[in-house]
Amino acid sequence: MVASVPYVKATEPHLLETYTPEVTNAYITSRLESVAVVVRDGLEDPLDDLGMVQQQLEQLSVIGRCEYQKTCTLLVQLFDQAARSYSELLANPSNQIEITIQEGNYQSSQWHIIQC
């Protein structure tokens, strides 16, 4: 995981405004996409390793602060999408695997939004 520098004092351009949202988006999206793989393939859930999750979220919160507004907007958007999909599946429960995947997405998005 990449760690950001909270206060950049260098005179050279650092491009944090450009790359911070991309790194944040890639990390969060990859975590949400991994839910389907974990559920469908019966793999070990990386969210069960609380030490690793805590470390990653601490680093992500530092990175996300570089472009706080964009990070929060992304998190809220992903959370709302996961909550909406989960609610729709619960209203019409036809596929238990999809419900489990959306439940995982919902929980994963909650983990990330806590850091916002």
Q: Is the pTM of this model over 0.85?
A: no
Give dist(CA 103, CA 87) in Å, integer: 9
pLDDT at 18: 82
Per-residue pLDDT band for 114 (boundaries 50, 70, 90) equals: low
For tokens 């609380």, the residue is 50
Per-residue pLDDT band for 35 (boundaries 50, 70, 90) equals: confident
Q: Are 52 and 46 in contact (CB under 8 A)?
A: yes
Is 60 exceeded by the pLDDT of residue 24?
yes
| Per-domain boundaries in the chain | 16-36+49-114
